[in-house]
Chain A
Amino acid sequence: MSNIQNEMRAVAKELLESGKATVVLGWEKGTMPYDSTPVMIRSAADVDKLIWDEYCLQNLSTYLIDFINSEDKVAIFAKGCDTRAYNRLVHDKRINPENSIVIGVPCSGMKNPKVAAKTPAGAEVPMANACKECRYPNPVACDQKIGSDVTPWCTAKDFSDVEAIEAMDADAKAAFWKEQYSKCIRCYACRNICPACNCTNCIFDQSASGWCSKDVNASENQFYGVTRAFHVAGRCIECGQCEAVCPSDVPIMLMNKKFIKDIDTLFGNYEAGLVTEGTTPLNSYQVADPEEFM
Chain B
Amino acid sequence: MKTVEKAKLDGFLGQLAQKYSVLVPVDYNGLTQFAPYSQVQEGVSKLYLDGNVTVSPKTVYLPQSEAMYKFRAQGKKLAIEEMPAMDKQQVVFGVRHCDTKAIQCLDKVFLDEKFEDPQYKEKRENTIVFSLACNNPKATCFCESMGVDRAHAEASVADVQVYEFGDTYGFVAVSDKGKACLDAVSGLGEAADKLPDQKPQEVKFDPSELPAKLKGMFEDPIWDEYSFKCLNCGTCTYVCPTCHCFDINNKIRGEVGMKMRTWDSCMFAEYTLMAGGHQPRQGKKERVRNRFLHKLQYFNEKHDMFLCIGCGRCVAKCPVNLDITKFIKQVIG
The chain A residues found within 8 Å of chain B, CB to CB, are: 30-32, 35, 37-40, 58, 63, 66, 113, 117, 179-180, 183, 185-189, 191-193, 205-207, 213-217, 245, 247-249
Contacts and interface: CB of A to CB of B under 8 A. Distances in A.
B316 interface: yes
A179 B29 contact: yes
A214 B319 contact: no
Interface of B: 28-31, 54-55, 64-65, 139-140, 225, 228-229, 231-235, 237-239, 247, 249, 251, 260, 262-265, 268-270, 315-317, 319-323, 325-326
B231 A180 contact: no
11 contacts: A40-B229, A117-B316, A183-B29, A183-B31, A185-B238, A187-B233, A187-B235, A188-B233, A189-B233, A205-B270, A214-B262
B111 to A, nearest CB: 24
A88 to B, nearest CB: 17
**Max count, chain A CB within 10 A of own CB: residue among B31, B263, B322:** B31
B265 A205 contact: no
Nearest to A60: B229
Nearest to B252: A210
A31 B64 contact: no
A193 B231 contact: yes
A186 B321 contact: no
A180 B28 CA distance: 9
A248 B260 contact: no
A169 to B, nearest CB: 20
A31 B30 contact: no
Contacts of A205: 268-270
Nearest to A215: B65
A214 B238 CA distance: 13
Nearest to B30: A249
Contacts of A214: 65, 247, 249, 260, 262-264
A247 B54 contact: yes
A58 B321 CA distance: 11
A30 B55 CA distance: 23
A249 B33 CA distance: 13
A207 to B, nearest CB: 7
A193 to B, nearest CB: 6
A32 B269 contact: no
Given A30-B321, A31-B323, A214-B249, A247 B231 contact: no
Given A38-B229, A185-B55, A247 B29 contact: no
B131 to A, nearest CB: 24
Contacts of A215: 65, 249, 251, 260, 262
